[in-house]
Amino acid sequence: MVKRDRREYSRAYMAKYRKENPDKVKYWRNKSNQASNAYWKRKVVELYSNGTMQCARCRFGDIRALSIDHINGRTKEDREIRDSNPRAYYKRVIQENNKAKYQVLCMNCQWIKRHEKKEYNHYYTQGINKEG
């Protein structure tokens, strides 16, 4: 079998397999995406925590609760990139390597900071009566 024939056979076989087993394909695609996102998150947290893998405020160290915080709040562009593709966002943050713009905080410290600096996005403030 020539290399080209093998490639065509593989493509046809995988197309048929994906069509006949959509649940299996979806399961493994999700697993792969989760693993990739976890890998890039760990790389970002390592970089911006200077290798300590801890919150900049309280020193909490569980990776599941750590995330990247914009020191001066997020821009519209940041929201669009982060919300559409976590891996692309993590890669961009690593590429920027701007420690004056980003820091690692645990989710508790992030919410406290958001409250203290009044960093509310439009989703949070919609429907809130400003008078009381």
First to last CA, the chain: 76
- 29-46 pLDDT per residue, tens: 999 988 988 999 999 999
| Stretch 76-88: mean pLDDT | 71
Identify whether the C-beta of residue 101 lies closer than 8 Å to the C-beta of residue 72. yes
Q: Range of 61's domain?
A: 52-124
Q: Is residue 116 part of a domain?
A: yes
Rounded to the nearest integer, the mean pLDDT of the chain is: 84
Instruction: Classify residue 5: in a domain, yes or no.
Output: no
User: 2 lies in a domain?
Assistant: no
**Cα separation, 57 vs 102, whole angstroms:** 13
- Report the alpha-carbon distance of residue 101 to residue 103 in Å, rounded: 7
Which residue, among 52, 44, 77, 66, has the nearest Cα to 110 in the 3D structure? 66
Give the number of domains in the chain: 1
Supply the pTM of this predicted model. 0.69
